[in-house]
């Protein structure tokens, strides 16, 4: 089940209506800080991006609509140029530089989507770009960033080290550092997704969007709330990298440590100062989803919608799967990106199949005698479990003299079929090891 963190858009010192205080007793209200990005900025960004960023498709999902009990549409930013929404903000940011700043070039740090967005945007604008990426960045993302025209430098094993190297390069060379989310131009560019949603689905009641540093969610909320304040905006974070719930509770950005999630696109330890102020004011609630939710969502996008989506991009779908009855429809879920390394995809799909009861791993012990394995496989054949792989261990200190251990990997048809397999093995006298 997804965790929900609603927060009302009330100034921090405004008393609750039911406080019982008289006007004379009320403390002074601190006026909210002005939002540094306006709907006019987003509209200008939209004009600027004409012919640069695609107006991505809006696809209906009958399966999700059935779960939610209302129409669900998928905003396919995974089909955007460079495979994610990042080209929008990167182009607006670089296009806004002065001639002198453009001459100095730009620099960015990213493990993937922002890197490609900056590389393409800079190339289109005739600006030299340098992108720092972690040493372990997936090779397809590194290759794509180079192909878009950036000089790629591999540095550090975590993004913080890569970021520090990019900032040092900016200080030494005068290149302009292009932050992935903490700048008003970036947010204005990402806000164009919100304008497209309102144009493509004017009846929308809820928009669900993944949150990392907050640039996309802030931009969408800003654009949508300015034109349709009745539309609810829900942010989604991976539970293992959820910096917004504690930050919203504290009233200011809070850094968290020990991030752990497959959704590297939203794996951010601290909200950006600029997007945080907008998210705090305009995003109605922030939810968290588990790794099981994310992998199931990615598998659903692939199987049902025929869309390749990265884990961060699938986070809104994960939220819908985790608690489908809590969303007012029509719903638009923003698929923010589709850049996923094939090797990671393979692992995630297997994880998602296991979470959905489509893949079952078992360990059990047999007597070390001829025909024992054949008898076991016969039991599995009767219950129609497809055997993907069999591991056979005969020499291990944990085994008895006449024992062997077998590890089975099976394709199954769902949770009920998994239970049927376990029951058949138990009835045949086998003990499954945990």
Q: What is the DSSP letter of 337?
A: B
Please say whether the structural domain 86-180 has been given the CATH code 3.40.50.1100.
yes
Identify the band that residue 297 occupies on the pLDDT scale cut at 50, 70 and 90. Answer: very high
The CATH code of the domain at 36-83+185-256+263-352 is 3.40.50.1100
Query: Quick check: 8 pLDDT over 80?
Result: no
Q: Which residue has the higher pLDDT, 188 or 157?
A: 188
Contacts of 271 (CB under 8 A, 6+ apart): 213, 214, 243, 244, 247, 253, 254, 279
Average pLDDT in the 136-163 region?
87
Helix, strand, coil % over all residues of the chain, rounded to 5: 45, 20, 40
pLDDT of residue 4: 64
Tell me the per-residue pLDDT of 244-286, one tens digit each, with 9 for 90 and over: 999 999 999 999 988 888 888 888 889 999 999 999 999 999 9
d(CA 56, CA 84): 10
Q: What is the DSSP letter of 14?
A: P
Say what percent of the chain tops pLDDT 90: 60
Tell me the per-residue pLDDT of 396-418, one tens digit each, with 9 for 90 and over: 666 556 677 778 888 888 888 88
d(CA 71, CA 56): 19
Average pLDDT in the 324-333 region?
96
Query: Quick check: 1 pLDDT over 60?
Result: no
Query: Quick check: 348 pLDDT over 70?
Result: yes
Identify the band that residue 2 occupies on the pLDDT scale cut at 50, 70 and 90. Answer: low
Annotated catalytic residues are 86, 336
Average pLDDT in the 168-194 region?
96
Closest residue by Cα to residue 313 from 74, 53, 116: 74
pLDDT of residue 108: 96
Average pLDDT in the 33-40 region?
84
- pLDDT averaged over every residue in the chain: 87
Average pLDDT in the 182-196 region?
97
Q: Provide the CB-side half-sphere exposure for 232 (13 A, CA).
A: 16
Torsion angle of the four alpha carbons 117, 119, 122, 124, in this order, in degrees rounded to the nearest 10 = -80
pLDDT of residue 404: 75
pTM score of the predicted model: 0.81
User: Cα–Cα–Cα angle for 188, 215, 260, nearest 5°?
Assistant: 165
| The listed CATH number (3.40.50.300, 3.30.70.260, 3.40.50.80, 3.90.1150.10) that belongs to domain 357-433 | 3.30.70.260
Identify the band that residue 301 occupies on the pLDDT scale cut at 50, 70 and 90. Answer: very high
pLDDT of residue 399: 59
Tell me the per-residue pLDDT of 37-68, one tens digit each, with 9 for 90 and over: 999 999 999 999 999 999 999 999 999 999 99
Q: Decide if 36-83+185-256+263-352 and 86-180 have a common fold.
A: yes
pLDDT of residue 372: 76
Identify the band that residue 395 occupies on the pLDDT scale cut at 50, 70 and 90. Answer: low
Identify the band that residue 87 occupies on the pLDDT scale cut at 50, 70 and 90. Answer: very high
Which range (184-193, 298-307, 363-372, 405-414) has the least confidence? 363-372
In the chain, domain spans: 36-83+185-256+263-352, 86-180, 357-433
Q: Which residue has the higher pLDDT, 27 or 74?
A: 74
pLDDT of residue 402: 63
pLDDT of residue 9: 43
């Amino acid at each position: 089940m997804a965790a929900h963190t609603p927060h009302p858009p009330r100034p921090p010192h405004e008393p609750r209506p039911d406080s019982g205080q008289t006007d004379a007793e009320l403390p002074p209200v601190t006026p909210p800080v002005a939002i540094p990005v306006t709907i006019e900025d987003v509209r200008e960004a939209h004009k600027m991006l004409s012919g640069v960023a695609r107006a991505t498709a809006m696809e209906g999902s009958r399966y999700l609509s059935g779960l939610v009990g209302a129409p669900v549409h998928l905003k396919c930013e995974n089909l955007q140029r460079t495979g994610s929404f990042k080209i929008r903000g990167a182009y607006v940011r670089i296009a806004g530089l002065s001639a002198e700043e453009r001459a100095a070039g730009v620099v960015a740090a990213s493990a993937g989507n922002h890197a490609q967005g900056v590389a393409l945007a800079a190339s289109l604008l005739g600006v030299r770009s340098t992108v720092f990426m972690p040493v372990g960045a997936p090779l397809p993302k590194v290759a794509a960033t180079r192909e878009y025209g950036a000089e790629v430098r591999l540095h550090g094993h975590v993004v913080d080290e890569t970021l520090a190297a990019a900032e040092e390069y900016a200080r030494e060379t005068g290149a302009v550092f292009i932050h992935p989310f903490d700048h008003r131009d970036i947010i204005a560019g990402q806000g164009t997704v919100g304008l497209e949603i309102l144009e493509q689905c004017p009846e929308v009641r809820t928009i669900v969007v993944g949150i990392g540093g907050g640039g996309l969610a802030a931009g969408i909320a800003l654009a949508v709330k300015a034109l349709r304040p009745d539309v609810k905006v829900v942010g989604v974070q991976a539970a293992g990298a959820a910096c917004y719930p504690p930050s919203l509770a504290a009233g200011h950005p809070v850094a968290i440590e020990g991030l752990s999630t497959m959704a590297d696109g939203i794996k951010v330890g601290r909200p950006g100062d600029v997007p945080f102020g907008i998210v705090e004011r305009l995003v109605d609630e922030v939810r968290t989803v588990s790794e099981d939710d994310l992998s199931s969502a990615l598998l659903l996008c692939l199987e049902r919608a025929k869309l390749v989506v990265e884990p961060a991009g699938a986070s809104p779908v994960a939220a819908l799967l985790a608690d489908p009855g809590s969303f007012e429809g029509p719903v638009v879920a923003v698929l923010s990106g589709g850049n996923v390394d094939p090797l990671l995809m393979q692992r995630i799909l297997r994880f998602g199949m296991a979470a959905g009861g489509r893949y079952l791993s078992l360990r059990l012990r047999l007597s070390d005698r001829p025909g024992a394995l054949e008898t076991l496989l016969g039991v599995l054949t009767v219950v129609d479990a497809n055997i993907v792989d069999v591991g056979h261990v005969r020499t291990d200190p944990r085994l008895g003299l006449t024992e062997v251990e077998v590890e089975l990997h099976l394709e199954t048809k769902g949770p009920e079929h998994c239970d049927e397999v376990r029951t058949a093995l138990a009835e045949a006298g086998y003990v499954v090891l945990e």
